[in-house]
Amino acid sequence: MLSILIPTRDYCCRTLVESLHRQADSLGIDYEIIVGEDGSSPKGIALNAPLAQMPHCHIIVKQTNVGRSKIRNILAQEARGRNIFFIDSDAVVEQGDILKRYSEALEEHSVVCGGLYHSEHPLTNSCTLRHRYERAADKRRSAKERNKAPYDRFTTFCFAIRRELFLEIRFDESIKNYGYEDTIFGYELRQRGVTIKHIDAPLLHIGLESNKVYLAKVEESLHTLLQLQDKIAPTTLLRCYTRLKNLHLTGIVLFLWKALRHILRANLLSQHPSLTLLNFYKIGYYCSISNKADKQIQK
């Protein structure tokens, strides 16, 4: 059996489930689809409620928000399949053989990632920052590119894994805030010597936040990174921060970031944000929170 697991919160995923349902039926495989409502409002729950009437589908409802890591662990625990396939609820299936490609790859590999991509133009003018960031990242998201650094390119957006293996690792529930669940899970796979197979079976990602919400999530993810910095392999940002620290330049970067912060935010919240300025904003913000953390330790 293949268990398709879709965590969601106040997001209608009926079209996604219906697409996967049709593909699974056409393959003639034994399958189940489990939707996990993670603290959704009554209105959000009502949007997906009709899915419970579909064959092979059921819904788990958590009245309070348990978090991105825990809801995935709960879904995996409830699953009955030998293989489990995690998909974020804001995905769209545009290719008719996604499940076929995953099923074939799972015959030889215990972890499979199909990738993701984004539309050429943003759905609204309010999400230009996230859209521009993701479109730049899409250039490195072919299976060929991802297989060059399989652990670094691992993403929880859509991946399949042997259920038994997943339950040995699980997502780290100590991560309460946004960011880096995929990084730490990929690191655990690397430590165990588990091979990740990246294939070309991408899903379209449409759930892009407004610039303001995304920038807040970027800041939240940097707090998560500070919390996890000793538990994961160095990210690009951590390597940059370490170089600056070794050269005694973090103070200068922090001074510039504080002086330019309002100008940087004005650009990043505009309809034409700069990714270069976003990168500087990230390293400056990380210098700021790391500096505060160091002062707290010294006290």
Asked whether the beta carbons of 31 and 81 are under 8 A apart, the reply is yes
Residue 229 falls inside a structural domain: no
Average pLDDT of every residue of the chain: 94
pLDDT score at 299:
63
pLDDT grade for 261, boundaries at 50, 70 and 90: very high
Say whether both 78 and 189 belong to one domain: yes
Say whether both 261 and 171 belong to one domain: no
Residue 29 falls inside a structural domain: yes
Residue 173 falls inside a structural domain: yes
Say whether both 194 and 270 belong to one domain: no
Tell which of 160, 185, 205 closes a domain. Answer: 205
Segment 118-158, tens digit of pLDDT: 999 998 889 999 999 999 999 999 999 999 999 999 999 99
Say whether both 266 and 144 belong to one domain: no
Residue 221 falls inside a structural domain: no
Provide CB contacts within 8 A for 240, sequence distance 6+. Answer: 283
Residue 23 falls inside a structural domain: yes
How large is the C-alpha radius of gyration of the chain?
20
Tell which of 186, 205, 224 closes a domain. Answer: 205
Range of the domain at 263: 234-298
Say whether both 239 and 148 belong to one domain: no
* Mean pLDDT confidence for 84-101: 96
Say whether both 94 and 158 belong to one domain: yes
Segment 24-80, tens digit of pLDDT: 999 999 999 999 999 999 999 999 999 999 999 999 999 999 988 999 999 999 999
Say whether both 193 and 255 belong to one domain: no
- The proportion of the chain whose per-residue pLDDT surpasses 70, expressed as a percent, equals 99
Say whether both 49 and 194 belong to one domain: yes
Q: With 90 as the cut, is the pLDDT of residue 20 above it?
A: yes
pLDDT score at 180:
86
Say whether both 57 and 175 belong to one domain: yes
Q: How many domains does the chain have?
A: 2
Secondary structure class of 29 (helix, strand, coil) = coil
* Mean pLDDT confidence for 250-277: 97
Short-list 100, 198, 215, CA closest to 155: 198
Q: What is the CATH number of the domain that holds 111?
A: 3.90.550.10
Say whether both 58 and 160 belong to one domain: yes
Tokens at 48, concatenated: 């997906």
Q: In what order do the strands lie in the sheet with 111-113?
A: 57-62, 31-38, 2-8, 83-87, 158-162, 111-113, 197-198
Q: In what order do the strands lie in the sheet with 91-92?
A: 91-92, 203-205, 116-117
Residue 54 falls inside a structural domain: yes
Q: With 80 as the cut, is the pLDDT of residue 297 above it?
A: no
Say whether both 130 and 259 belong to one domain: no
CA dihedral 126, 71, 174, 209 (to 10 degrees): 0
Residue 219 falls inside a structural domain: no
Segment 233-256, tens digit of pLDDT: 788 999 999 999 999 999 999 999
Say whether both 200 and 261 belong to one domain: no
Residue 106 falls inside a structural domain: yes
